């Protein structure tokens, strides 16, 4: 049977590529920086322009579909994942990297129906890597199939994480306690690309065994969550159990064994859920 969402996925790939051109062009010019929830939570006009470009282009083709977009939510739109077809968009995942021209930035587009991600597209535009996954049909980078690492010994693992944009001292202490616990497991190393979506694509590619973070948002991880699971990986909450994309916490790893070792090492904490903030507009 023909895939009812192939058309939408093809459109997501095409618009991600177009958005990538805008982002790469902007990387060569001046990038005026604004702040959002804190002085280190950055946004630029390029984030806003690229999100509008993606939403407008999808609306023209799929006028009844809904959207959750990072910059639209920041501007007061609701962050609601209903059963309707919903595009979950991060126009630049890795905005801080973008501001500093640190070359790991991605356009992330997830598409969910009945709250389940049906396809995910992550375009790491400086690297020119187009990561894609369709539920039940595998994950790919530039058309080549992806497979997570087969390493199950955490002592031989590489783990990715990020420090996020919360500078509350208690939160930072917990982040460092987790990092200390993980380094002392021990693991081979800890890395961070500065983009949740790219870190997760590194898990899917088998370059790191796991990625975890508390503080991410649904738009950072929706698309990449499918890329990881379709590459054979595991998604879990940092305290074990199913991942909830609105909960702002995630472990994405190559195996249940490594995930469970990380669950024991991570010092958990909770942040307000993405769907908890009332929209500014009705
Ligand atoms: C951020 C990046 C970063 C992660 C933050 C995210 P943004 O997304 O993915 O690596 O540490 O938690 O919010 O703001 O660049 O789209």
- CA dist 58 and 60 (Å) reads 5
Atom of ligand 1 nearest to the CA of 192: 10
DSSP-assigned letter for residue 248: S
Atom of ligand 1 nearest to the CA of 108: 16
3-state secondary structure of 98: helix
pLDDT in single tens digits along all 282 residues of the chain: 899 899 999 999 999 999 999 999 999 988 889 999 889 999 999 999 999 999 999 999 999 999 999 999 999 999 999 999 999 999 999 999 999 999 999 999 999 999 999 999 999 999 999 999 999 999 999 999 999 999 999 999 999 999 999 999 999 999 999 999 999 999 999 999 999 999 999 999 999 999 999 999 999 999 999 999 999 999 999 999 999 999 999 999 999 999 999 999 999 999 999 999 776 654
Instruction: Let me know the angle formed at the C-alpha of 95 by 91 and 99, rounded to the nearest 5 degrees.
Output: 130
* Residue among 19, 33, 92, 164 whose CB has most ligand 1 atoms within 8 A, to mutate: 164
């Amino acid at each position: 049977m023909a895939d009812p969402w192939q058309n939408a996925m093809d459109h997501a790939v095409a618009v991600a590529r177009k958005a990538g051109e805008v982002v790469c062009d902007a990387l060569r010019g001046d990038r005026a920086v604004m702040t959002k929830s804190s002085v280190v939570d950055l946004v630029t006009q390029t984030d806003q322009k690229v999100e509008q470009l993606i939403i407008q282009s999808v609306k023209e083709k799929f006028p009844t579909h809904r959207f959750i977009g990072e910059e639209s939510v920041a501007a007061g739109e609701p962050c609601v994942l209903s059963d309707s077809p919903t595009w979950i968009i991060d126009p630049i995942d890795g905005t801080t990297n973008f501001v500093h021209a640190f070359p790991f930035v991605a356009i992330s587009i997830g598409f969910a129906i009945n709250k389940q991600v049906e396809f995910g597209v992550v375009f790491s535009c400086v690297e020119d890597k187009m990561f894609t996954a369709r539920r039940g049909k595998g994950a790919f980078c530039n058309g080549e199939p992806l497979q997570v690492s087969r390493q199950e010994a955490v002592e031989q693992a590489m783990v990715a994480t990020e420090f996020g944009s919360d500078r509350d001292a208690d939160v930072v202490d917990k982040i460092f306690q987790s990092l200390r616990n993980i380094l002392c497991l021990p693991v081979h190393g800890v890395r961070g690309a500065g983009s949740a979506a790219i870190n997760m694509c590194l898990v899917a590619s088998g370059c790191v065994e796991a990625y975890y973070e508390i503080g991410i948002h649904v738009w950072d991880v929706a698309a990449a969550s499918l890329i990881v699971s379709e590459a054979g990986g595991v998604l879990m909450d940092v305290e074990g159990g199913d991942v909830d994309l609105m909960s702002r916490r995630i472990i994405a790893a190559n195996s249940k064994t490594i995930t469970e070792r990380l669950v024991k090492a991570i010092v958990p904490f909770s942040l307000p859920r993405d769907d908890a903030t009332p929209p500014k507009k009705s």
